[in-house]
Amino acid sequence: MFGTNGVRGPVGETITAQTALRLGRAVGTDSNKVVVGRDTRRTGILLEHGLAAGLLERGVDVIYLGIESSPTLARAVEWTDADVGVMITGSHNPQEENGLKFFTATGRPFDRTEHRSILRRANGQSVPLDRPITPGTENMITTFGDRHVNYLQSQFPHFDLSVVVDLGNGAGRVTADVLSSLGCRVTTIHGQPDGTFPGREIEPTEANCKMLREVVPSIGADIGIAHDADADRLAVVDETGAYVSGDTLLALLCDRAAASGHDLVVPVNASTQVETIANKYGQEVIRTPVGDSFVASALTETETPAFGGESSGTMMWSTEINCSDAHFAACNIVSLVASEGRLSTLTEPFNTHVLKRYKYPTQDAELALDRVRNRIIDTYETIEMIDGIKIWTKNGTGWALIRPSRTEPVVRLTVESKSAAMTQSLSDKFDTVVTESVEGIRSIPS
């Protein structure tokens, strides 16, 4: 299924070699050179073959990176002067799922219009094959991870810190390598690339980072960092072993970015702390639909430097590259700890809001959202519809967002206020609304 950042789903069902072949033909119709990378999933190689066949058939020159992270792939598109980058990854989804992410010549994720164009070609089989085409060439370059390390090393000073990096058996080794090159004492866990992901579940949630939370305080480390399979996301553990929520981490980075003159770009499900931070420093806030491709697109349109991110752990700076680079983000966070002190102290000011997230399985999320809209449209005065339905309380101190997921067959509910009691009250109220709109399902804490 196409989501906010490519196509993804169970291999052998939604995603097949035929899917990759058709997408390769579609991308190759108006490209001359394409860079291809993949995460550690075992199914990556078969999708790579299918994709490459479609590209080569259209006369496209293909540069293979092998196993690398999405941020490295995105930068490699610019470094090789390619037209498109394709990352074969299921990202943070379970190992049985895989997919393809697409990046422009500048390293920006494809936006909705670009995705739809590729999908129409692939599904409509409208790619012309009515004349002989000289097949493209193939070239394997495995040094871009090292180039990424060298670039990041040039952007940061040396750090005298102890850092634990949980790679989750994925493709994020650049983080461990660059922090080591910057002088950190790096301990890696789940560092062996392994497409069966034996160390932990792929998404770096609090529950999945149990070992990281234990190892950091046990060895006296200053910080712990975890990635998903393609390292476009990161999660952070402070020196006490406490998992830093994505909303708190986003607020911290927004604060430091705004203090340095950056505007802020965040999706509609991000905490309202972002507006408080922007007002403090006289910066602007741009709200987008949920999805890093929407954030990235908005970043490209800002006239001033901007920082963008999501509570899921995707972070990007317009002065760098308009995609989520969790390696760059990791270096930024380690830099803050090195220069300003303990992470638990740095994050404390940003724990003022109480935010909860839920998800509701359904095979028709759009229909469920229509039912929600019909139930509440005449009840609430302040409603936003940038992405789904965002309802504000009368005094403006709390809100609830109900939206269909673009990556899973679920409806998501996000609720926030400044008190646990109010957040729970809003959760209870809108849980009832969504549950009754999505027949026969129960909420699952997200």
Hey, what CATH class is 2-142 in? alpha beta
Contacts (Cβ under 8 Å, ≥6 apart) of 26 = 54, 118, 119, 121, 122, 127
Amino acid at 262: H
pLDDT at 48: 98
246-326+342-350 has the same fold as 145-239: yes
d(CA 258, CA 274): 10
pLDDT digits (tens, 9 = 90+) for 168-190: 999 999 999 999 999 999 999 99
pLDDT at 364: 86
End-to-end CA distance of the chain, in Å? 21
pLDDT at 378: 73
pLDDT at 123: 84
Query: Residue 408: exposed, middle, or buried by beta-carbon count in 10 A (0-12, 13-18, 19+)?
Result: middle
The architecture of the domain spanning 246-326+342-350 is 3-Layer(aba) Sandwich (3.40)
Instruction: Give the residue ranges of the chain where pLDDT is below 50.
Output: 442-443
d(CA 218, CA 331): 22
**Residue 347 in contact with residue 89, Cβ under 8 Å?**
no
pLDDT at 16: 96
For the chain, domain boundaries? 2-142, 145-239, 246-326+342-350, 354-445
- CATH number for 145-239 (one of 3.30.2350.10, 3.40.120.10, 3.30.300.20, 1.10.150.120): it is 3.40.120.10
Topology given in CATH for the domain delimited by 354-445 = TATA-Binding Protein (3.30.310)
* 149, two tokens: 């390390």
pLDDT at 286: 97
- Where would I find the H helices in 206-363? 210-218, 246-259, 273-281, 292-301, 326-340, 343-347
Catalytic residue at 91? yes
Catalytic residue among 31, 69, 70, 91: 91
